[in-house]
Amino acid sequence: MSLFLSQREIRGLIKVGDLVIPGGYGFPSFSETGCIDHVDEVMAPTPAADVKDFKLLMKVFSVAPNALLKGLLRLMDKESAFPEPIGGLLRLLNVGVKGVVFSLYYSNKTSEFYQGPLVHEAIGYQVNCEMDESNGSAGQ
Amino acid sequence: MADIYDFVIIGSGPSGGVLAYNLCKAGARVLMLEAGKAHSAKTFPRNEMTANASLMWSGGMDTSTDAGLLFLRGKVLGGGSIINQCLLDRFDDNAFDDWRARTGVDFYSSSTMSRHYDEVESHLALHTMEKCDWNRNAELYVEGFDKCGMEWAPLRRGQSNCGQGNDCVVCLGGCPRDSKQSSLVTFIKKAQQHGLEIETEFNVSQIIHGTNLVTVYGDQYGAARQVYGRRCIVAGGALGSTQMLLKSGFKDKLPGLGSNFTCHPQFMNIALFDEIVDAHKGAFQSVKSQDPRFRQQGFKLENVFAGPIAVSLLKPGFGLDHQRFMQKYRNMACIEVAIRDATAGTINIDKSGRLKIKKTMADADWQRANAGIRVVETLFNSLGARDVMKSPIKIGLHLMGGCTLGKDGRNSVVNEHFQVHDHPNVFIADSSIFPSAPGINPSLSIMALAHKASEHILAECGVSSTAKIKSKSPVVEVQP
Ligand SMILES: Cc1cc2nc3c(=O)[nH]c(=O)nc-3n(C[C@H](O)[C@H](O)[C@H](O)COP(=O)(O)OP(=O)(O)OC[C@H]3O[C@@H](n4cnc5c(N)ncnc54)[C@H](O)[C@@H]3O)c2cc1C
């Protein structure tokens, strides 16, 4: 359930998410984790005009063939080979698309029903910062 | 009659915190406005994504118009000091000499500023990182520097008690131990003891300068609000302060508003090692370069690391190639190149008041960056790294300028008394007044300048900063 993205736009995001993170090397795929359930957390602080652009992009992604999306992802990494403003547009796409996909996936958040390996476990990321009782400050 | 404060301070970062404390201590009635939420050690988000989304403007995704730089800035009570790494250094003569030459302002000197540094430092717990603080990433850094004959030095950090077995990367999302010396746990806390009032989630849209009063408009919890101050101090940081003044129409009288925007572009360079490095564990930053040759060439190196989201964005590519890279998270060592920005950009707004930041990396910047990256490659190669990866993403963490301090209202915004030219009731002392990039962590100097500004502001109101605490408002006399 998202208050920001429609069903179709969510489909577009899942499609590109699975191209970026298909699963393997001990990792679940983007869609498997169900991290998409937390997309509103990413959208909430995003300026309204950017959300509008993102929604349109996801709509297009939902119908675009995978080969085209892969081509676009490759171009995004080759931004420096293009003159401005095309290079800038590709960089903006890169930050927008991968920013959302990676934020969701590496947040370690999943759907309530997900039972597979957690992403943080797969990369061995474990952090700790305990509260300092003497300060009265709380930790995790 | 509406409530009128002696001072309304907009913004609660290193600048706003020091100003609030000094003004409250002198007996003034002060209201602090902050667009972000109030958090405490108990409520800081523990998840990297939640922290980005709830503690930063645009969730940490503000970019320059050409998307060449990604700007990170705090939107929370405590401002950037809540999400920063709190490395606190004084500026050196090199930085101040440059500023004096650019502005003709005499107080930009180590000797004049030392009293202000002393004063703010006396309120902070400062810790120079020791060998026992090093994690493996720091050890590798030092090993590389020693092998290559380069000079390094320990970092100095604002921290009181980071405890045993804690991982400081957590406190990039707000310190759960109240150890990191953010303005929230230092100056704001003390200012509250002297009566500071705070309104959070108050997004200021306009500042109207009047002869006797400054009216500040904004919205809070979805409703329009306005507050009044005899004086207003804008402390919204380089982007925030400039945006507020632009939206309020100050550009008509101040053509220099929005110019001179600089940052310290940062390039994180990751090397893969066969051994486990665990660069995210313990104190994830503890050493820096101290090589005069680097300072001369306009860059510095620090040992650094970040959480999985930030690291994932640093590597080009996608699919299995990306996953293979992230699987090696624990084997990554990282050295950051931060350059002393040579090319200033401009801050503007569009019709809807949204920021338009023009900031390109010019040839001189690339020369500095590439010189630094070459050194990092040499260092990592000397340590037998398997692979060295240069980040395609450039991050701007130290945002400066836009409301430069100077003598001439034609090209600067704020005068030597931190007063906006031609607007005697509005003051600014935050990172937006910087005339150029110093190449040194800016927070401590922002605090020292804010301390200096508070003396000027109180003097302008006829109040001595060392006066005994007064209990009656107004401290600021309304002009006849
Ligand atoms: C990840 C990171 C790491 C960093 N590490 C270091 C470091 O180790 N050492 C160092 O010296 N510096 C560091 N910095 C930079 C440092 O944090 C900033 O330079 C510093 O916080 C700027 O202080 P300031 O008072 O000028 O503004 P800020 O700290 O940016 O505070 C401005 C406040 O004003 C508020 N504001 C803005 N606009 C409005 C509005 N319209 N209405 C109401 N409120 C508004 C903002 O929400 C914000 O809270 C780091 C920054 C980041 C992002």
> For residue B368, how far is its CA from the centre of ligand 1 (angstroms)?
25
Given a contact cutoff of 8 angstroms between Cβ atoms, the answer to whether B302 and B288 are in contact is: yes
Express as a percent the part of chain B with pLDDT over 70.
96
Please give the pLDDT value at position B238. 98
Q: Per the CB < 8 Å rule, is B178 touching A137? A: yes
User: Among partner residues A26, A45, A137, which is closest to B42 by beta-carbon distance?
Assistant: A137
Q: Tell me the pLDDT of chain A averaged across its residues.
A: 93
Average pLDDT over residues B16-31: 97
In sequence order, the β-bridge partners of residue B301 are B337
Q: Calculate Rg over the CA atoms of chain A.
A: 17
Chain B residues with CB under 8 Å of A108 CB are 47, 308
Give the B window 70-109 contacts with A, CB below 8 Å: 70, 75
Residue B243 DSSP symbol: H
Joined tokens for residue B143: 């090993």
Confidence of residue B470 (pLDDT cuts 50, 70, 90): low
Instruction: Report how far Cα B265 is from the mean position of its chain's Cα atoms.
Output: 13
Ranking A122-136, B144-158, B191-205, B434-448 by mean pLDDT, the lowest is: A122-136
Residue B468 has pLDDT above 80, yes or no: no
Q: How far apart are CA B3 and CA A139, in angstroms?
A: 38
Distances in whole angstroms, Cα of residue B112 to Cα of each of B117, B119, B472: 10, 12, 33
Omega before residue B392 within 30° of 0, cis: no
Chain B: closest CA distance from residue A1 (Å): 18
Q: How far apart are CA B432 and CA B446, in angstroms?
A: 10
Please give the pLDDT value at position B2. 76
User: Among partner residues A19, A42, A77, which is closest to B53 by beta-carbon distance?
Assistant: A42
> For residue B142, how far is its CA from the centre of ligand 1 (angstroms)?
30
Confidence of residue B480 (pLDDT cuts 50, 70, 90): very low
Q: How far apart are CA B388 and CA B273, in angstroms?
A: 9
- With tokens 């800035």, the residue in question is B73
Other beta carbons less than 10 A from residue B302's beta carbon: 22
pLDDT for B433-460, tens place per residue? 999 999 999 999 999 999 999 999 999 9
Given a contact cutoff of 8 angstroms between Cβ atoms, the answer to whether B268 and B314 are in contact is: yes
Question: Strands, E, within A1-140: which ranges?
Answer: none
pTM of the model: 0.96
- Grouping H, G, I as helix, E, B as strand and the rest as coil, residue B329 is helix
- With tokens 């997309």, the residue in question is A39
In sequence order, the β-bridge partners of residue A24 are A27
Please give the pLDDT value at position B479. 44
Please give the pLDDT value at position B472. 56
Confidence of residue B391 (pLDDT cuts 50, 70, 90): confident
Q: How far apart are CA B335 and CA B373, in angstroms?
A: 9
Identify residue A88 by its one-letter amino acid code.
G
User: Among partner residues B56, B161, B320, which is closest to A132 by beta-carbon distance?
Assistant: B161
Would you call B59 an interface residue with chain A, using a CB distance cutoff of 8 Å?
Answer: yes
pLDDT for A48-106, tens place per residue? 999 999 999 999 999 999 999 999 999 999 888 888 899 999 999 999 999 999 999 99
pLDDT for B120-165, tens place per residue? 999 999 999 999 999 999 999 999 999 999 999 999 999 998 988 9
